[in-house]
Amino acid sequence: MDLSNRVAIVTGSGRGIGRAIALKLAEVGATVVVNDIGEAAQGVAEEIRAMSRQSLAILADVSSSSDVARLMETTKATYGKVDILVNNAGITRDQILVRMSDEDWDRVLNVNLRSVFLCSRAVLRQMIKQRWGRIISIASIVGVAGNPGQANYASAKAGIIGLTRTIAREVASRGITANVIAPGFIDTEMTQRLEEKQRQELMGHIPLGYPGSPRDVAEAVAFLASEEARYITGQILNVDGGMAGAWL
Ligand code: NAP
């Protein structure tokens, strides 16, 4: 895999899975724009520059149209183009449906799904012109299976799947692919917030018997971003230790 001369944006890459994706894409040669809502993006961009790759941190809330416009304009002004967009930013606000507030529904839909619409729309015109592009969005196996307490999150992740399949069909003739990665249980701050009982229950559903690492997701992203994956589009790749197969 060689992503030299490719420019990638990874949303929500200040920590967790996004950080691992940004570092992996840089490892295989890409110039990487590290986006995050918080300051952690700066540290990841520094780590990448220490690998002798180009990198820029851009703080932006990807659920905001004006922030996304600034993210894309700054990237194009600095590096001239975007070849790879990884829609990774995501949050949870868990609650059973009957108790879920309008605010928690809206925020999760906005950060997890509206962001994918805004960022994908913002990069597509230029990708169409250059007749090459990769859009890789991080959903979740919960988007297919559903999960009690996560109506907002599961709906957003299911929406990413429909959106990706639509993008894949709209731009297939222009050399652009769009795919989803659906992680299972990956060890990050998001899952460290779960109660021990919930963690143990989830572990019981993983045939491989251990949680995935952010690096496991990053390896799959790098493959889908590469030239070698040119004939793969509109797909959902589960990175889940066999969890979806055992659960669904
Ligand atoms: P995480 O550790 O909570 O990291 C999420 C990152 O997104 C953080 O750096 C966060 O920034 C950033 N972010 C949040 N809101 C943002 C916004 N509005 N604009 C820009 N950046 C924003 O989560 P993770 O576990 O790495 O998850 C990454 C992705 O994988 C998410 O889409 C998640 O739904 C998905 N996923 C995770 C798992 C899992 O088991 N961990 C499973 C399935 C799917 P701050 O740190 O500043 O808040």
Classify 34 as helix, strand or coil: strand
Give DSSP secondary structure letters for 130-191.
HT-EEEEEE--THHHH--TTBHHHHHHHHHHHHHHHHHHHHHGGGTEEEEEEEE-SB-SHHH
* pTM value surpassing 0.95: yes
Report the distance separating Cα 214 and Cα 88, nearest Å. 12
Closest residue CA from atom 17 of ligand 1: 61
Model confidence over 115-150: pLDDT tens digits? 999 999 999 999 999 999 999 999 999 999 999 999
Q: Is any ligand 1 atom within 6 A of the Cβ of residue 11?
A: yes
Distance 12 CA to ligand 1 centre (A): 6
pLDDT means per 10 residues in the chain (248 residues)? Answer: 97 98 98 97 98 98 98 98 98 97 98 98 97 98 95 98 98 98 94 86 92 98 98 98 84
Residues 6+ apart with CB under 8 A from 60: 35, 37, 67, 68, 70, 71
Specify the pLDDT at position 248. Answer: 67
Q: Inter-axis angle of helices 16-27 and 214-225, to 10 degrees?
A: 50
Residue ranges per structural domain of the chain: 7-241
Specify the pLDDT at position 158. Answer: 98
CATH 1.20.1250.20 fits 7-241, yes or no: no
Specify the pLDDT at position 193. Answer: 83
Q: Is any ligand 1 atom within 6 A of the Cβ of residue 190?
A: yes
Closest residue CA from atom 44 of ligand 1: 140
Closest residue CA from atom 32 of ligand 1: 90
Q: Is any ligand 1 atom within 6 A of the Cβ of residue 111?
A: yes
Q: In the block, which residue shows the tokens 């108790």?
A: 99
